[in-house]
Structure 1
């Protein structure tokens, strides 16, 4: 049987395309610069069996418009750009590619932490302007406390690297997760905030975490704390972060994802040299993109062929009980 697979992006790593085409699938992609409306047009006009969802919104309208749709797989782990509720109503499993880009995101989190702590971009910029200034040398991380909000696969990898730098690691999670020998768990977020010299966010964006870190939470951090966000922009209040940095309580921040993307020209973060920013590319190494694409492709092909789905990779596992081939 020939399946039609839609990708909500103009490209997919060759490793993923090879899996899909090897299964005889027809692969459709949206045009460069495409938006939610392009996804809606594609799903309403084609007999799409599965969607591999990247960063463009997969709306309830798009899902409802496609009667042939049987499975959705996120190219990554964050499903905030997928209308999961609509998919669930239609009994469509929504899968994630767990751990596929965890190492890449963890490495970026540590890279941002080092860049902020040692003022590396500021130093680089000064030298290029012929200003040899050795007074802005930054902070040493050894002996400080790393507080993880989210102790899943990415958080645990960040913890391992931080311990190599001599840091103590504590963690808090908004959802129950398996125990980890690597992370000292805290049951209350406030307890973590009170000791976290570095606050690093690794939780999903949902109703429980939207706006989780704002003025009150940032004020609890020890003096000269560093904030790292490689999770989702809506978890962290960026205006509150700018205020905390301007007040001197927060030493600096490393931010990979923003409340609005691309970041608006009037964002207060753009005027702060203490903030190091990247363009939501934590999982975008060549290796991670290939791994995630291959995994997502295999998961949709397996699901379409009625092979068992691991509930651990399904964000709406209630849909698995009534699966049909």
Structure 2
């Protein structure tokens, strides 16, 4: 049987394309990676069996307009762009591809931390403008404590790399029982305890009711003075006006952000005015190696379900439909 797939981006990694081609599947792409209306138009006019969802919104309207749809797999792990409730109402599993891009995201988190600590974009700009500005305001990270909110695949890799440059790593993760052995990081029993000890705080957790805007005016105030915040997870984890205020007041030294609440970042967003915010456009998992691994996992998981009704329950964000 020939299955029809929609990839909600202009491209899919070579490994994923091969999986689908070998199975004789048809594959459509978006022309515009950020156009949710194009997604809705395609899904209302074509009989897709599966959607591999990148970052553009996959709305309830799109899901409800495609009666043939049987499976959705996120190209990554964060599903805030997918209307999971609409999929659940139709009995459609929504899957993720855990751990497939963990190394690339971890490396970017470290890169943002180093760049923010030493103000690299500022100095690059100064040189580009013809100036030779020298400053002693950078932060040496050796001996500092890196706090990790979430200690899954990415958090563990970040801790391992940070340890190699002489940082102490600690984490808070309510999903991990207290006392669990960890070679690279110390476990704290509460977020508050982690915050007060973290010179650098790096977020590695999903967005849900408990974590949305978990970094806000109150929690940011608990960090040590001149701390650095890193976010390679989801922008919704941070109260953005509170972060901007903490940077303005000097409570925070810097921030490194690969993701924001609204993407692409609006042209009038206050973050654009801060020289001590290092930003990248949600590229944590977009190395060729990571894209290949994610695409292979997404394509294979969809085929496993379509061909054999086989599903990895750990990768399913709405297991109640199973």
TM-score, normalising length from structure 2? 0.94
Q: Distance in 2 between matches of 1:274 and 1:136?
A: 14
Deviates more, 1:192-201 or 1:302-311: 302-311
Listed as ranges, the gaps of 5+ residues in structure 2 are none
Hey, what's the Cα distance between the residues in 2 that align with 1:153 and 1:287?
16
| Distance (Å, rounded) in 2 between the aligned partners of 1:177 and 1:290 | 33
* Offset from partner CA, 1:144-186 (integer Å, 9 cap, x none): 1111111111111111111111111111225457945133222
Where do 5+ consecutive residues of structure 1 fail to align? 321-325
- Conserved? CA contact 1:174–1:208, under 8 Å: no
| Cα deviation digits, residues 67-91 of structure 1 (max 9, x gap) | 2211111000001111111212222
Q: What is the DSSP-based 3-state SS (H/G/I as helix, E as strand, rest coil) of the residue aligned with 1:259?
A: coil
- 1:126 corresponding residue in structure 2: 126
When residues 116 and 297 of structure 1 are mapped into structure 2, their CA distance, relative to the original with a 3 A threshold, is same
Contact 1:123 1:136 in 2 (8 A): no
1:272 lines up with 2:302 in the alignment = no
Distance 2:187 2:86 in 1: 35
- Please state whether the residue corresponding to 1:276 is helix, strand or coil: strand
Partner SS state of residue 290, structure 1: helix
Pick closer, same or farther for the CA change 1:145–1:11 going to 2, 3 Å. Answer: same
Q: Does residue 253 of structure 1 match 2:247? A: no
Are 2:130 and 1:136 aligned?
no
- How far 1:54 moved relative to its partner? 0.6
Within 2, Cα distance between the matches of 1:4 and 1:270? Answer: 41
Compute the displacement of 1:14 (Å): 2.3
Task: After TM superposition, give the deviation of residue 108 of structure 1 in Å.
Answer: 0.5
Match of 1:189 in 2: 191
Quick check: 1:148 aligned with 2:143?
no
Are the aligned partners of 1:254 and 1:276 in contact in 2 as well (CA < 8 Å)? yes
TM-score by length of 1: 0.93
Task: Give the paired residue count.
Answer: 320
Q: Identify the residue that residue 100 of structure 1 maps to in structure 2.
A: 100
More off after superposition, 248-257 vs 84-93: 84-93
* Alignment equivalent of 1:306, drawn from 278, 300, 308: 308
Q: Which position in structure 2 is the counterpart of 1:323?
A: none
1:262 matched to 2:258: no
**Counterpart of 1:305 in 2: which secondary structure?**
helix
Distance across 2 between alignment mates of 1:266 and 1:41: 29
- In structure 1, what is the Cα distance between the partners aligned to 2:14 and 2:177? 34
Question: Which sits farther off after the overlay, 71-80 or 234-243?
Answer: 234-243
Q: Does 1:113 align with 2:110?
A: no
Residue 273 (structure 1) shift: 1.1
d(CA) in 1 for partners of 2:272, 2:310: 47
Q: Which is worse superposed, 215-224 or 201-210? A: 201-210
Distance 2:262 2:321 in 1: 31
Listed one character per residue, the Cα deviations across residues 26-68 of structure 1 (whole Å, up to 9, x for unaligned) are 1122222552222122222222111101111111222122222
State how far apart, in whole Å, the 1-side matches of 2:136 and 2:126 are.
10
User: Residue deviations 1:268-319, cap 9 Å, x none?
Assistant: 2211111111111111111111111111111111111125322111111222
The aligned counterpart of 1:295 is 297
Provide the aligned C-alpha RMSD in A: 1.7
SS at match of 2:275: coil
Mapping for residues 23-42 of structure 1, pairs under 5 Å: 23-33=23-33, 35-42=35-42
Counterparts of 1:168 and 1:137 in 2: how far apart (Å)? 22
SS in 1 for 2:308: coil
Contact persistence 1:44–1:66 (CA under 8 A): yes
Pair 1:161-2:147 in alignment:
no
